Amino acid sequence: MLCPRDRVCVRKSGGGGFAINSGSKFIASAPIYGAAGGLTDGGFGRFDNQLDAVFPTANGTVNWEAIYSIGYESHHELALIGKGLHQESLQRQRHAILLLPGLLRGRFPDLFDGMIIGAPAIHYGQQQVNHLFPDVVEQTIGYYPPPCELEKIMNLTIAACDSRDGTIDGVLTRSDLCQLHFNINSTIGQHFSCPAETTSENLKKHISVSYSTPAQNGTVTAQGALAASIMLDGLHTLYGKPAHIWYQPGAACSDAETQYNSDTDETSPAYDVLKEWMELGWKCYADSLQTQWPDLTDFRAAGGKIIHYHGEIRREHPDRFLGPLHYHESVRTTVYPDVSYNESTQALGDWYRLFLVVPGAAHCELNPYEANGPFPQTNIGVMIDWVENGVFPTTLNATHLAGDNVGANAQLCAFPLRPLWTNNGTTMDGVYDQASIDTWQYDFDAWSLPLY
């Protein structure tokens, strides 16, 4: 790739399970900004190989070299090589902008001038096991809601909470207000109807599976509302201590979907067993994949800047929204101990900008259930302007990619400010709302150690 100017962009995996990169679709945007981009194969043999191509090793043991490679080492090396080549060609000062690092923070504090973090994977141990949580909820209460029932609850939640952000546009921008004011039991008795359908998906590129779902008709039951309510509360131990987080209200409950024609006969573990599995993953991958190191003092001292953005209504990974939000708060209390909330938030916001949230967005993309929400498209340009020209991103530039306002610009608020529209939805302000902020604060009492 040509290196027309003095910038290097490194692309980390954007989720995608075990993927070490996301192909060329993201680095292709680097030259637009006069930057160079690069990919790594992580040492997995091919650029389209994922971790599972080399993990576990043939004798069934952990391939630690591959784990540390996907954890951070391959991206460290990619950045060094990219900067070196760039310097060789231009003999100028280089800046490195890392996209979606997730796993690199806390290491190599002076390697990157800026980090653009979208939907980072944090709390690996908890995150993976958490996918099983809704299944355990359903088995524990002895009720398996039809997918159409959960979808109805989601649609009713969005409809009921849509206007709380000040504009009725089909986008639930303030899930915090929904959490405070919406009673999920109000969905009980509402009629749902879905046609028969067959869907298919590829599991890690290896196996194609399809699911057939018959036509569904019925009304939302008290048990269905109860299942959704317990899931939204997140995993608690049998003694009622919170172990982790789940979706925000209004999210599609894809993990909770029951499937018809299943020929398996497996039993689910109890809540406390899930917690034990989470702890096992945490211990096993604490220094590679857990990615919760909160002390970014050195990164800040080196002048590093962070743009962290995230979809509020996650579909695929419930805690990959709230986990990173909790991490942001952990950085605040670690770097600025014994300082008031407002003072430390102000100080952190000078170099670590959390854009909470992309209204209605899902994982790292548009949410098909709320297409009127915008999505940020110019993050590299925003970061380059911040690093090189001192243009501070008070809000984050975004664009409506679908829905009623395609092509229109939008500005996203930085946490803890939350968007609120007035004047019939024509004026958006970032408001400070303590009750809202309090809904995003978590104490994970189930653990004997801090979960940052």
What residues make contact with Ca ion under the rule CB under 5 A? 162, 165, 167, 169, 171
CB of 372 to Ca ion, least distance (A): 8
Q: What is the greatest pairwise CA distance in the chain?
A: 69
Which is closer to Ca ion, CB of 269 or CB of 403? 403
Helix (H) or strand (E) holding 207: strand 207-213
**Smallest gap, in angstroms, from Cβ of residue 359 to Ca ion?**
8
Closest distance between Ca ion and the C-beta of residue 165, in Å?
4
In the complex with Ca ion, the residue whose CB is nearer, 355 or 452, is: 355
Nearer to Ca ion, 304 or 419 (CB): 419
Please identify, using beta-carbon distances, which residue of 171 and 366 lies nearer to Ca ion. Answer: 171
Nearer to Ca ion, 167 or 213 (CB): 167
> In the complex, what is the shortest distance from the CB of residue 419 to Ca ion, in angstroms, rounded to a whole number?
9
Adjacent-strand bridge partners of 181 = none
d(CA 64, CA 101): 20
Is the bond preceding 56 in cis, omega lying within 30 degrees of 0? yes
Residue with tokens 């979960």: 451
**Shortest distance, CB of residue 176 to Ca ion, whole angstroms?**
13
Q: Name which of 281 and 419 has its Cβ closer to Ca ion.
A: 419
Of the two residues 155 and 378, which places its CB atom closer to Ca ion in the complex? 155
- How many angstroms separate the CA atoms of 389 and 200, rounded? 48
Tell me the closest approach of the beta carbon of residue 158 to Ca ion, in angstroms.
9
Backbone angles phi, psi at 305, to 5 degrees: -130, 145
DSSP classification of residue 164: G
Task: Tell me how long the chain is.
Answer: 452
Give the integer Cα–Cα distance in Å for 130 and 153.
21
Contact 312, 374 (CB under 8 A): no
**DSSP conformation letters of 237-285:** -TTS-B----PPTT---GGG---TT----PPPPPHHHHHHHHHHHHHHT
Q: Give least dist CB 437 to Ca ion, A.
A: 20
- Please check whether residue 186 is in contact with residue 112, taking contact to mean a CB–CB distance below 8 angstroms: no
Token reading at 248: 């925000």
Q: Which helix (H) or strand (E) holds 427?
A: strand 427-431
SS3 (DSSP) at 156: helix
C-beta closer to Ca ion: residue 250 or 376: 250
Q: Which of 167, 292 has the CB closer to Ca ion?
A: 167
Distance from chain centroid for Cα 62: 26
Q: Which tokens is 142 given? A: 């002895």
Nearer to Ca ion, 113 or 169 (CB): 169
| Cα 275 from Cα 286, distance rounded (Å) | 16
| Calpha distance 70→428 (Å, rounded) | 40
Minimum gap (Å) between residue 188 Cβ and Ca ion: 24
**6 vs 169, beta carbon nearer Ca ion:** 169
What stretches of 100-151 adopt beta strand conformation (E)? 114-118
Nearest approach, Cβ of 404 to Ca ion (angstroms)?
12
Residues in Cβ contact with 393 at an 8 Å cutoff, skipping those fewer than 6 apart: 307, 353, 382, 385, 386, 414
Comparing CB distances to Ca ion, the nearer of 182 and 447 is: 182
Taking the complex as a whole, the smallest distance from the CB of residue 174 to Ca ion amounts, in Å, to 8
- Kindly state the smallest distance separating residue 248's Cβ from Ca ion, in Å: 14
Any residues with CB less than 8 A from the CB of 400 and at least 6 apart, and which? 372, 373, 374, 406, 407, 408, 409, 410
- Three-class SS of residue 173? coil
Backbone angles phi, psi at 306, to 5 degrees: -130, 130
**Which tokens in the block code for residue 147?**
């997918």
Q: How far is the CB of 250 from Ca ion (least distance, A)?
A: 10
